[in-house]
Amino acid sequence: MGGLLSLLRAAAGLLVVGSLLVVLRSGLEERSVALAFGVLMAVGELTRWSGPGLREAAPLGSAASLSYALLGEHAGHATHHGVAQVVSVVVAASLLGSVPHLARGQGPVLDHLVRRVLAVGFAAVCFQPLYNHGVFDRWTGPAYALLLLALLVLTALCDAVVAAALAHSRTGWPFAPLLRDELRSLPGIGSAVAATGAVMALAVAVVGLWALPVFSVPLLLTQLSLRRYAAVRATYRQTIASLARATEIAGYTPAGHARRVAALSEAVGRDLGLTEPELTVLEYAALMHDIGQLSLVDPVPAGATAGLPAAEQRRIALLGGAVVRQTGASAQVAMVVERQADPYPEQPTAARIVRVVNAYEEKVRDAGPGGPLTALEELRLGTGGEYAPEVVEALARVLSRDCLTLPAAG
């Protein structure tokens, strides 16, 4: 995993260094055009928002970068900036716009820059040499616009692969589900970025740089809306986490139990290939999985419901689902909480995960020196009727990646 990350960073670094050397030697072409696009890219980076669940943190910066990579004319006159200048301007503007984020300790800026450089470099390599050699002279009107859109689609696919590879290298999560999530996000903000990039390039070719502020306003408003959406999501998650702590404050469950179950459940869900929306439901359900214990007159010792009779577990789960419905959480979250005590063949995947991880968390507290190994073996012995085998093995893989020495499934 570290090798892939190093390879991507090295490729981006070589592209940047080579481009800067070429520009330093030959100088900037069409400086006013480069400055205008650079300013727009920097503004896009300044308004970048690294909120949870956002696939494109700086859509305006991305659109401006891609538009410059696919720019062939300025106000009816051919441009000659080439691949090296495109990459150099994008890097300089992105670094300038990232200064406030670096000062506040917000990131990851390096991986964001690697992704931007590789995507823009790909688009520029596909377009600039061929355009400057007259290959696209026969493409006019709608055909030329479709050509730009086709190149942007290819660039978006390339960017999705790079983004998934970076996430895989950084986190160790399976590559295929990460790539699937990246591809699923393309019809949303990805399509807006591609369309804006193409329109900007076409408009600047006809009317000049005045087109940049006109066509950047809608995407800037979209970016601000995404920022507000991310803030609302963060507030909602904090509300869910606060509700989940009610059982801890009341003394029904140990401190931090819900948070630990949620974190480990999310890791198991990623290993099993759940999508981002499914992972969100899983996280919220895991945070509130014990909330039904608030209805008990006598608390279960240490909140360990896994050792209760099946009928009592189901009663607590149903009560918990009823409470979750009253909080305004989605019906999917309530359903997972309600069904976490059902026989695992009848459970949805999220409920299976919560059941296994909750049992592991409870067992590992009482396992003594054996700790995780003993708890995991107890879960494997229960896969015949209580716990889903595929979830238990996913849990084992997650724990293995956390540097625990675990026995192989047998």
Structure confidence at residue 56 (pLDDT): 61
The secondary structure of the chain in percent helix, strand, coil, rounded to multiples of 5, reads 75, 0, 25
pLDDT tops 60 at residue 232: yes
* Domain 245-401 falls under CATH 1.10.3720.10: no
Beta strand segments in 39-104, E: 73-74, 77-78
Band of pLDDT at residue 254, cut at 50, 70 and 90 = confident
CA distance linking residue 346 with residue 350, whole number of Å? 12
Longest CA–CA separation in the chain, Å:
81
Predicted local distance difference test score (pLDDT) of residue 127 = 93
Query: What integer pLDDT is reported at residue 170 of this predicted model?
Result: 78
What's the pLDDT score for residue 409? 43
Q: Could you state, in order of their start, the residue ranges of all structural domains in the chain?
A: 2-234, 245-401
Please give the residue that has the higher pLDDT: either 70 or 250: 70
Q: Name the residue with tokens 């390339």.
A: 158
Distance CA 24, CA 35 (A): 16
Indicate if the pLDDT at residue 385 is higher than 80: no
Position 83 scores a pLDDT of 93
Beta-bridged to residue 78, according to DSSP, are 73
Residues 276-292 have pLDDT tens digits of 888 989 999 999 888 88
Would you say 189 and 226 are in contact if contact means Cβ atoms under 8 Å apart? Answer: yes
Whether the Cβ atoms of residue 300 and residue 287 lie closer than 8 Å to each other: no
For the chain, the average pLDDT equals 83
Whole-number Å distance between alpha carbons of 17 and 242: 48
| Single-letter code of the amino acid located at 271 | D
Q: Is the pLDDT of residue 65 over 90?
A: yes
pLDDT tens string 78-137: 888 999 999 999 999 998 988 887 777 665 578 888 999 999 999 999 999 988 888 887
* pLDDT for res 408: 42
Please tell me which residue, 302 or 206, carries the higher pLDDT value. Answer: 206
Residue 68, classified by CB atoms within 10 Å of its CB into exposed (0-12), middle (13-18) or buried (19+), is buried
Which of 158, 169, 170 has its CA nearest to residue 120?
Answer: 158
